[in-house]
Amino acid sequence: LGSVTAGSDGSFTVPLSPALTNGETVTAIASDAAGNISEPATATAPDTTAPEAPAALLVAEDGASVSGTAEAGSTVTISDAAGNVLGNATAGSDGSFTVALLPALTNGETVTAIASDAAGNISAAVTVIAPDTTSPSAPADLLVAEDGASVSGTAEAG
């Protein structure tokens, strides 16, 4: 990639083109005027790429967990609409994860999933809607019209 002569204080800088990214490594070897060569030393470029957003999200039928896929080794965090963390899990070597939720989601709530890697990079957020497993209250205030042609009352909105 290049070579330079170290300065009087021993420091050096070698421009790299293209730049190293995301865990790529570079090896440096020093040599002196007598031709002696050092052992190699390596440096690793920082990981600056966010993981892909979690995918294939599925809320369990009982609302107690969210499963899906994400970058292997990433931490998947599930939050509610207010930003409260409901749980997190580490994606396995195959990318699969299951996050246990406390409390369980039972009323069609929307939750957000993000993945973060060891370098602190954060994916785009994705949302999933939990199933609505709570039965509505029975209709109330029923009134049959005097002519018997209709009935009215109140019930759960929607």
Q: Residue 86: name the closest of 62, 112, 68, 61 by CA.
A: 112
Nearest to 5 by CA among 25, 32, 27: 32
Confidence band for 158, pLDDT divided at 50, 70 and 90? confident
From 64, 68, 83, select the one nearest 131 (Cα to Cα).
64
* Dihedral (Cα; 132, 100, 68, 81), 10-degree rounding: 50
Evaluate if residue 124 carries a pLDDT over 90: yes
Q: Which of 11-25, 64-78, 101-115 has the highest mean pLDDT?
A: 64-78
Lowest-pLDDT range, 21-35, 85-99, 129-143?
A: 129-143
**pLDDT band at residue 131 under the 50/70/90 scheme:** confident
What 54-59 contacts at long range (C-beta under 8 Å, 24+ apart), as own/partner pairs, is 54/97, 54/113, 54/114, 54/115, 54/123, 54/126, 55/126, 57/113, 57/126, 57/128, 58/128, 59/105, 59/111, 59/128, 59/129, 59/130, 59/131
- pLDDT, average across residues 15-34: 93
Neighbour count for residue 134 (Cβ, 10 Å): 11
Instruction: Please report the domains of the chain, with CATH numbers, ordered by start residue.
Output: 1-46 (no CATH), 55-129 (2.60.40.10)
Confidence grade of residue 2 (pLDDT, cut at 50, 70, 90): confident
Dmax (CA) for the chain in angstroms is 112
| pLDDT value of position 85 | 95
Of residues 136 and 127, more confidently modeled: 127
The DSSP call for residue 147 is T
User: Does 1 score more than 80 pLDDT?
Assistant: no
